[in-house]
Amino acid sequence: MSELNYASINVGDELPSHVCGPITRTTLALFGGASGDHNPIHIDIDFARKAGMPDVFAHGMLSMAFLAQLLTNWVDQNRIKEYGVRFTAITPVLATVTCKGKVSEKFEQDGEPCLRVEVSAEVDDGTKTLVGDAVISCR
Amino acid sequence: MLDKSIVGQESPPKTVMAEPGQMKFFAKATGAVDQIYWDEEAAMAAGHPGLPAAPTYLFCLNNFAPSKGPSILAQLGVDIGRVLHGEQRFKYGKPIYAGDEITLQDKVIDAYEKKGGALQFILTETAATNQHGESVGSMTNSLVIRN
């Protein structure tokens, strides 16, 4: 991770992408226990089918954790002031998740120079599964 | 029909410790490669007083904190198999480190329907403080119920 130099960062700059997965059923079982999200829709195919789904699918928060790694690979975590996403599609089991980010705005907030980074996660066929943004302090 | 009387409802505050073993398990489950999330020595070498909680870990602490009453979804009688996560947003305050005692309080800030009730949305805001009374941030959560 390198120190941020606000002056040398431009709108449109891309973060190094971050590839995670493939997400196996083991990943889902471990993440269920590790995150405290025990919803059986992510780990029990019988339950998922009863709920009308063809199979289990990944926790949205697993991909949100992957996408957070895109940010913490790039800057010190304590620079992140805000981070939010919309979950735009289900992440199927065995998907590989590619996390991307791009600087979309340079602005001041509470007297601090800040960057807004647009972030997204997508699965193998290019479907975007998470779309969001983060605010990074450059103080 | 969605019971809109839940809007404004606050859950009793609940407290949970950020346990180092659980945080290491989270780092493993998410494939974290940065050692500061699972190795105390690496975290301290990087200037942290202990293992830092990853950016989305507050959500996990909210799951782990023992609840003092039925959840909003339980109160509404929602089948968990019909719930999807719509949105999640974090605002950060003081960093959370292993060993911190985090107190969380949920408040329902909105509830509405779309497509004639086929989709119901519940928005919750959670405020969190540490054992020193400092804000460690907040999060907003949108759940979608498929009817």
Candidates 3.40.1010.10, 3.90.226.10, 1.20.1250.20, 3.10.129.10; CATH matching B4-146: 3.10.129.10
**What residues contact residue B141 under an 8 Å CB cut-off, 6+ apart?**
B59, B85, B87, B88, B123, B124, B125, B126
pLDDT digits (tens, 9 = 90+) for A1-59: 556 888 899 999 999 999 999 999 999 999 999 999 999 999 999 999 999 999 999 99
According to the model, what pLDDT value does residue A2 have? 54
- Residue B68 binned pLDDT confidence (cut-offs 50, 70, 90): confident
> Which tokens go with B17?
């410790």
Whether residue B69 has pLDDT greater than 90:
no
> What does the alpha-carbon distance between residue B105 and residue B138 come to, in Å, rounded to a whole number?
9
Residue B1 has pLDDT above 80, yes or no: no
Confidence of residue B2 (pLDDT cuts 50, 70, 90): confident
Measure A15 CA to nearest chain B CA, in Å: 17
Q: What is the pLDDT of residues A72-96, one digit of tens each?
A: 999 999 999 999 999 999 999 999 9
Q: What is the pLDDT of residues A89-133, one digit of tens each?
A: 999 999 999 999 999 999 998 899 999 999 999 999 999 999 999
- Indicate which of A2, A23, A35 best probes the interface with B, i.e. most B CBs within 10 Å of its own CB: A35
Contacts of A98 in chain B (CB under 8 A): none
What average pLDDT does this structure show over B3-31? 96
pLDDT digits (tens, 9 = 90+) for B35-63: 999 999 999 999 999 999 999 999 999 99
Q: Average pLDDT over chain B, rounded to whole?
A: 95
pLDDT at residue B76, rounded to an integer: 87
Percent of chain B predicted with pLDDT > 90: 84
Cα A28 to Cα A62: distance, rounded to the nearest angstrom: 8
pLDDT of residue A1: 52
Of B99 and B1, the structure prediction assigns the larger pLDDT to B99
Contact of B115 with B63, CB cutoff 8 Å: no
56-95 in chain B: CB under 8 A from chain A: 56, 59-60, 63-64, 79-92, 95
Q: Is the pLDDT of residue A68 over 90?
A: yes
Name the CA radius of gyration of chain B, rounded. 17
Q: Is the pLDDT of residue B29 over 90?
A: yes
Burial status of residue A115 (CB atoms within 10 A of its CB: 0-12, 13-18, 19 or more)? buried
CA trace torsion B54, B69, A51, B115 (10° rounding): -90
Peptide bond preceding A22 in cis form (omega within 30 of 0):
yes
Find the residue in B nearest to A56 (Cα).
B81
Model pLDDT, residue B99: 98
Check if B118 contacts A (Cβ < 8 Å).
no
